[in-house]
Amino acid sequence: MHPSADSTGPKKTQQTYTQNLSDLFKPIRNLIPFGAPSSTPSSRLFARVPASTVILVIGLDGAGKTTLLRDYLSPRPDSVKTITPTINTGISLEDLQVGPAFFQAYDLGGCRPPYYHRFDEDLFRQADAVIYMVDAADRDRVMEAREELIMSGLRANNGGMRQGVPLLVLATKIDLENGRRPDQIETFFIDNISTSIGDRPRNVVGVNLKTGEGVSHALSWLSDGLSPRKDTLYNEKTASTEK
Ligand SMILES: Nc1nc2c(ncn2[C@@H]2O[C@H](COP(=O)(O)OP(=O)(O)O)[C@@H](O)[C@H]2O)c(=O)[nH]1
Ligand SMILES: [Mg+2]
């Protein structure tokens, strides 16, 4: 978009404005060179996913999204790029490419104007997998986290996650005393919203991002679901040893 377009052109509706936000990110993302010089044990799990797989890491602020990208998936902290559109929208996206996978981290909720939900829905719709991060120790905001997931991620109109896209709910901060247990998060997040969650593969895993407890178990589940070639190899191997 031309920088002067907003001031001189006809006034845009809020809808058009947010509709274009996801387009603003695209040209910037394409400048990031393909491939990374090194990887981490967690990022190597995604080596076999199809090229340009987009994994959305999303949830309320403070849930642990940046920590997951920076401390587990990124070979170096500076590999995580923060992308903000040239116009001042108040929106920013953290982007990390490792091998064939793009991880995008984005904050939901807070005091953003309601029309930003349109952009949130766009992000969910473009994702090939979603890691929904919930601070299990933030009892005051667990309801807000659930509402954001339903409103932007699972709504049954043309917004939200596409059919069959896997959903990994990561309940973080299980090390803190007041943290809810992962099975409580599961009941709250999954069981009670069965009408809109659909048939998609889903899993709820508790993690401690300070120690890494639970992280590789959770990410293995997701990467297995995204890596058909691995399944094929596994099946062939199993079949040949069973002969
Ligand atoms: N104790 C504990 N702290 C965590 C855990 N995960 C994240 N944090 C902390 O929570 C804060 C917010 O994390 P951050 O990654 O910035 O959240 P974001 O807003 O979702 O990107 C940071 O101080 C992290 O160190 C966890 O599992 N246990
Ligand atoms: Mg963050």
What domains can be seen in the chain, in order of their start residue?
13-242 (3.40.50.300)
| pLDDT, tens digit only, all 243 positions of the chain | 343 334 444 444 554 545 556 665 654 454 444 444 568 999 999 999 999 999 999 999 999 999 999 999 998 888 898 887 766 667 788 999 988 999 999 999 877 777 777 888 888 999 999 999 999 999 889 889 988 888 888 875 566 888 889 999 999 999 999 888 989 988 887 776 655 677 789 999 999 999 999 999 999 999 999 987 544 555 555 555 544
Whether residue 180 has its Cβ less than 6 Å from ligand 1: no
User: What residue type is assigned to position 70 of the chain?
Assistant: R
Place of tokens 């300070």: 210
**Which residues touch 158 (CB under 8 Å, ≥6 apart)?**
125
- Residue 91 tokens read as 């929106």
**Among 56, 61, 67, which residue has the most ligand 1 atoms within 8 Å of its CB, making it the best to mutate?**
67
The finding on whether 202 has its CB within 6 A of some atom of ligand 1 is no
Whole-angstrom distance, CA of residue 243 vs CA of residue 229: 21
Instruction: Please list the residues that pair with 103 across neighbouring strands.
Output: 55, 96
Q: Which residues pair with 213 in a beta bridge?
A: 208
Question: What is the C-alpha separation between 131 and 223, in angstroms, rounded?
Answer: 11
Residue pair 207/166 in contact by the 8 Å Cβ criterion = no
Nearest CA to ligand 1 atom 1: 173
Among 162, 165, 153, 175, smallest CA distance to 226 is for 165
Of the ligands numbered here, which is closest to the C-alpha atom of 64?
1
Instruction: Indicate whether residue 216 lines ligand 1 (CB < 6 A).
Output: no
Main-chain phi, psi angles of 133, to 5 degrees: -100, 130
Mutation test residue for ligand 1: of 141, 177, 185, 209, the one with most atoms within 8 Å of CB:
209
In one-letter notation, the amino acid at residue 163 is: Q
The beta strand positions in the chain, using DSSP E, are 53-60, 81-83, 93-98, 101-108, 129-135, 167-172, 202-206
